[in-house]
Amino acid sequence: MKYPLIVGLSIVFVDVVVWRAQIPPHDLVRLFIRLALFAVLSWVLFSSGMNPFGQAPYRDAAALHWLAQVLEIVWWLMAARLFTLSLDSLLLPRAWRKQRLFSDVFGAVVFLAAVVAALAFVLELPVRGLVATSGALAIVLGLAIQSTLSDVFAGIVLNATEPYTVGDWVVIDDVEGKVVEMNWRATHLLTGQGNTLIVPNAMTSKAKISNNSRPANVHGLSLVLEIDPEARPKTVIDALERALTGSNAILKTPAPYARMQRATLNSIHYEVVGFVDDMSKKRVTSNELFDLCYRHLAASGVSLRALGVPAPAIEAHDAKEALLKRVSLFESLSADEVSQLAKRLSRHEYPADQQILAPDTVPDSLAIIYAGVLSVTFRESSGVRELARIGPGEAFGEAGLLAGLPMHVSITALTPSVLFEIGKDDMTSFLKEHPEVAKQLCQLLAYRQDKIVKLTTALPAEQEQGHSLFEWLFGKVRNIHSLYDS
């Protein structure tokens, strides 16, 4: 072959361009192209007498000789790099490829072996003396970087045992985060505050590791509540179990549970445990569950106890008034108005699985949940879909009672429930005595338009004859309850 050095160097140049420019973009296709280029380079070298296992020819021409030596050394380095890439892409598991630690360590060993081989075969240097010298140097270097070496070997153990992989949510020594990178030195965690925490592998290998991503679709959450020791345990447990039922984000399997955990001088600790199918739901569901626990405990006459603080003096409150104050619809009412409205409430009890409101009906009363859990469902072409679960302190039927709008949902008691209701006649009488309250309720209904549209007949989004949505609602309330200016 004419000009084998030019052909060989040209092949090396093309390989560098393919490597650096990442042409083509697909890793596996690019690897096969580079392997083909290496095969062609090997054929050029061996067919031209430039055997990488010996010194290069052209000894009578110093420039050509050293250029051929460089080409043979490059051949060894290309062989080492392509060998590690082939092992990484074709043989290693996907999880190992993401973590990179094994590839980096193995690549370093292969490159070291390639450099020693090039020195021995191409340059014909005394490798035994070099190895002996490098061994002593390695001892000194090892003592200097022993902490780094411990991280490397700990990383190898972590990769082999795989207590977690990239993408898992883990807790390492009480630090929780998502694994975003694993390398030869450390594990990188993305914490809930959006910060990157770097944990050295040596420290990780000695720490307690909790992998929240295994099993894949079950993630536990736990709340510990301090309750008044005078409260009957069965009352507390029943209320907490109703709170667990009130969240449709909590899985039925494994079954959630509530239990008494321990007793202290001033309180009893109760634990509520549930499970969700996605880590991203844990925070939202925990907050929702705490709110449900608070409301169901309050409905059962049980109050939370401040940590380590004796119970405050108990003040007597009317249960109906306390319930009305927890309803957002009546937040704007004064204490006297709340007291008058509370006298008009009637108590109703419903067993589990009883339908309280049928779809496409206009409620003739406003219902406020005092105790229990209700399921709100909507029938679609694909079947029945649960929209929400509602519990103590929540109300429904206000759009029907105030504006005569039908509700397209079905509401059923999931647990034995107690509701306080106010009928149309009582509401009409109350609004006639307090006409300003009608305006406040209509303002709130107009503000909650998005929720009303989902549960009832859509309200007119366009203004009619220059009237706003509030004015339209207020007109409906005046007509239904006969509120006319005197």
Q: What is the per-residue pLDDT across 101-148, written as a single tens digit (0 to 9) for each?
A: 566 767 778 888 888 888 888 887 776 665 655 665 566 556 555 677
Same-domain status, 467 and 437: yes
Judged against a pLDDT cut of 50, whether residue 306 lies above it is answered with yes
Same-domain status, 246 and 334: no
In a domain, 366, yes or no: yes
In a domain, 398, yes or no: yes
List the CATH number of the domain containing 351: 2.60.120.10
Q: What is the per-residue pLDDT across 280-297, written as a single tens digit (0 to 9) for each?
A: 888 899 999 999 999 999
In a domain, 361, yes or no: yes
Least confident of 8-17, 135-144, 332-341: 135-144
Chain centroid to CA 412: 31
Beta-sheet strand order (sheet of 257-263): 219-227, 268-276, 257-263
Which residue segment(s) compose the domain that 92 sits in? 4-144
Peptide bond into 24 cis (omega under 30): yes
Q: Which of 271, 299, 327 is the last residue of a domain?
A: 299
Same-domain status, 83 and 18: yes
Interstrand relation of 257-263 and 219-227 (parallel, antiparallel or unpaired): unpaired
CB atoms within 10 A of CB 393: 22
Sign of the torsion angle spanned by Cα atoms 197, 202, 204, 208 = negative
In a domain, 156, yes or no: no
Judged against a pLDDT cut of 90, whether residue 328 lies above it is answered with no
Instruction: Write down the number of H helices and E strands in the chain.
Output: 17, 16
In a domain, 306, yes or no: no
Same-domain status, 35 and 82: yes
Same-domain status, 329 and 387: yes
Q: What is the per-residue pLDDT across 406-459, written as a single tens digit (0 to 9) for each?
A: 888 899 999 999 999 998 888 888 888 877 777 777 776 766 555 555 555 555
61 by Cβ neighbours in 10 Å (0-12 / 13-18 / 19+) ranks as: exposed
In a domain, 157, yes or no: no
Lookup: tokens for 333? 């009412």
Assign 92 a pLDDT band (cuts: 50, 70, 90). Answer: low
Please count the structural domains in the chain.
Answer: 4
Least confident of 101-115, 258-272, 366-380: 101-115
Greater confidence, 441 or 71? 71
> What is the per-residue pLDDT for 459?
52
d(CA 10, CA 30): 18
Q: Which of 241, 265, 299 is the last residue of a domain?
A: 299
In a domain, 98, yes or no: yes
Interstrand relation of 186-191 and 209-211 (parallel, antiparallel or unpaired): unpaired
d(CA 203, CA 275): 30
**Of 191, 185, 178, nearest to 203 (Cα)?**
185
Mean pLDDT of 207-230: 86
Helix/strand/coil for 367: strand
Same-domain status, 381 and 445: yes
Greater confidence, 443 or 485? 443
Same-domain status, 197 and 225: no
In a domain, 455, yes or no: yes
d(CA 133, CA 130): 5
**Of 190, 172, 194, 171, nearest to 180 (Cα)?**
190
Same-domain status, 262 and 324: no
Q: Which of 211, 243, 270 is the last residue of a domain?
A: 211
| % of the chain at pLDDT higher than 70 | 83
Helix/strand/coil for 40: helix
The identity of residue 123, as a single letter, is: L
Same-domain status, 112 and 183: no
CA terminus-to-terminus distance, the chain: 113
Same-domain status, 393 and 434: yes
Least confident of 191-200, 313-322, 387-396: 313-322
Q: Across-strand partners of 378?
A: 385
Least confident of 25-29, 345-349, 438-442: 438-442
Judged against a pLDDT cut of 60, whether residue 316 lies above it is answered with no
> What is the per-residue pLDDT for 315?
45
Same-domain status, 324 and 467: yes
Length of the chain: 486
Q: What is the per-residue pLDDT across 153-198, written as a single tens digit (0 to 9) for each?
A: 788 788 778 888 888 889 988 888 899 988 778 889 998 788 899 9
CB atoms within 10 A of CB 417: 25
Same-domain status, 130 and 35: yes
d(CA 64, CA 49): 13
